[in-house]
Amino acid sequence: MIFFKFFILGALTSLILPPFFMLPLGFFIFPLLTILLHKDSNNKSFFNLFFIGFCFGFGFLLLYLSWIYNPFLVFNSTKPFAFLAILLPAFLSFFFGISFLLYKFTKNFLNTILITPFVIIFTEFLISIFFYGFPWITNSLILSNNLFGFYLIKYSGTLTSGFLIIEIFLIPALFFEFNKIIKYKNLILILHSPLFIVLILIGYYSSFELDEYTKEVKIEAYQILSPINKLNQNIIEQNIINIIKNTNSDYIIFAENNLPYLINEKNFSDLNRYIKEDSKVIIGATTFKNKNYYNTFFLIEKDNIQFFDKKILVPFGEFLPFRKYLNFMESISGSIDFEAGNVERKLTTKDNFNILPIICYEIIFDQIFKNINKKKIDILINITNDSWFGNKIGPYQHFYLTRIKALVANKPLVRVSNNGISAIIDQNGYIIKSSVLNKVSKLSFKLKMNKTISFIYFHNLFSYYLVILFFVLFIFNRKNLNAN
């Protein structure tokens, strides 16, 4: 029964994140989590703690990743394997189990409360780095739909902002330990003061930052609902050509793989002859070169074509890991692997406009932004195809993950999805324009550019601070808080 309680708490936790955003639940879930964990804590073995963490994670991920079965339903040949969708939640739940082992070293309720944000964020970190990394699971998503959250994500990054919101959710639990909070208030305040002081200073000085506009560009983004199987290639291409011929925008942006045929070294779409002198077309396609397949982002200007090949590929979607040993899974993942690109993640237009090209789920990886200031990026452009996610929570999660990256980079972002949700988002997380799911859409806007820089340097410092804070609390726990 106790394990089932943690499973239910995990399932309820998924309702705090997009697309539900039932934030008040957090003030119930995390205090109750600490109460249940502390109960009979002296009798908890490593195995029990691992299984508790696994049950909590499995309950959370079964709902949060419930869209994962949709890719199996796209083709009739893969429908019989839809039951395998449960493997990813089960696998990722092991990392929750590993993180929950930290509770073995907490001997009183206060310390259980204090260590809980570290356990949750440590789980997020582990999932993001092991087995190709899957940073889809980030607690900063809880903050991705409100101004307070925008402030935290922009200046402290995803890990620290996730840590802080878990701490806020745990405030009701602190009332049960009010006497000990008073006793150790100076220690708690001293340990947390650097974090909040730096946040306040960054916010204060950034309020004086002038919006120095350097350029205004007219953007048109097209959500055309191109079918995955590309049966009507000529119709799709003619639709794209008509759009290009009948617009005067500076940037005409389509989605991932919207060009309906394979591109190789000897052929390319005749789109170029329809492009006006000052226009730029951005579109995705599958390319074949040097005997390899690539998922490619094209920037096409008059008589000038640049490209970026996707670097972070989807395991089991774009390639089969350990194909030599897992070739029995070819009926699911296909017999052909895409190759990762090796060109720099930066495209510069004729008029010196620097674009950070991002294809599909690459957007969830913070590492692609680490040199964004050095590269002097002006705008993020993310092309994607969310048709694989179905019509429920998957596309919305992907959209909100994209939104927080505009904050991480502190740059405007244009997201164009084949079927939605497409959007133009400013550097403060504000959605200027957006489409709805599964509806042909056109987003048009004159976007003013400025010289903002990312605060990613501070994000890294905050992450180091959390590590130091954990070890200080751990040492203090062993020396002082173990006494009954």
CA distance 448 to 213: 6
Cis peptide before 421 (omega within 30 of 0): yes
CA distance 141 to 165: 10
Query: Distance between terminal CA atoms of the chain?
Result: 28
Q: Which of 96, 71, 68 is nearest to 10 (CA)?
A: 96
Cα distances (angstroms) measured from residue 65 to each of 69, 273, 438 = 9, 44, 20
In the block, tokens 């947390």 appear at 192
Supply the DSSP symbol for 148.
H
pLDDT at residue number 97: 96
Residues 6 or more apart from 89 whose CB is under 8 A from it? 57, 58, 61, 62, 65, 68
pLDDT at residue number 437: 94
Residues 6 or more apart from 385 whose CB is under 8 A from it? 228, 255, 256, 257, 284, 360, 417, 418, 419
- The values of phi and psi at residue 461, to 5°, are -65, -40
Label each residue of 405-433 as H, E or C: HHHHHCCCEEEEECCCCCEEECCCCCEEE
The dihedral through the CA atoms of 244, 247, 249, 255 has a sign that is negative
Q: Bin 290: left if φ > 0, else alpha if -120 < ψ < 50, else beta.
A: left
Q: How far is CA 247 from the centre of its chain?
A: 32
CA distance 283 to 318: 19
Residues 6 or more apart from 429 whose CB is under 8 A from it? 144, 150, 153, 154, 403, 404, 406, 407
Query: What 3-state class would DSSP assign to 462?
Result: helix
- Domains in the chain: ranges and CATH: 2-207+459-479 (no CATH), 214-451 (3.60.110.10)
Residues 6 or more apart from 310 whose CB is under 8 A from it? 294, 295, 296, 297, 318, 338, 340, 341, 359, 360, 362
pLDDT at residue number 484: 46
| Sheet order of strands, 354-359 included | 347-348, 354-359, 379-384, 413-417, 423-425, 431-434
Q: Print pLDDT tens along the chain (484 aa).
A: 778 999 999 999 999 999 999 999 999 999 999 999 988 655 678 889 999 999 999 999 999 999 998 888 877 878 888 888 899 999 999 999 999 999 988 878 888 888 999 999 999 999 999 878 899 999 999 999 998 899 899 999 999 999 999 999 999 988 877 666 666 666 667 667 777 777 776 666 666 555 566 778 999 999 999 887 666 788 888 899 999 999 989 999 999 999 988 887 656 667 778 888 889 999 999 999 888 999 999 999 988 899 999 999 998 888 888 776 667 666 666 678 899 999 999 999 998 899 999 999 999 999 999 999 999 999 999 999 998 888 889 999 999 999 999 999 999 999 999 998 999 999 999 999 999 999 999 999 999 888 888 989 889 888 888 888 888 777 766 665 445 4
Cis peptide before 19 (omega within 30 of 0): yes
pTM, two decimals, is 0.91
CA distance 121 to 254: 36
CA distance 140 to 161: 6
Q: Which of 356, 264, 378, 368 is nearest to 311 (CA)?
A: 368
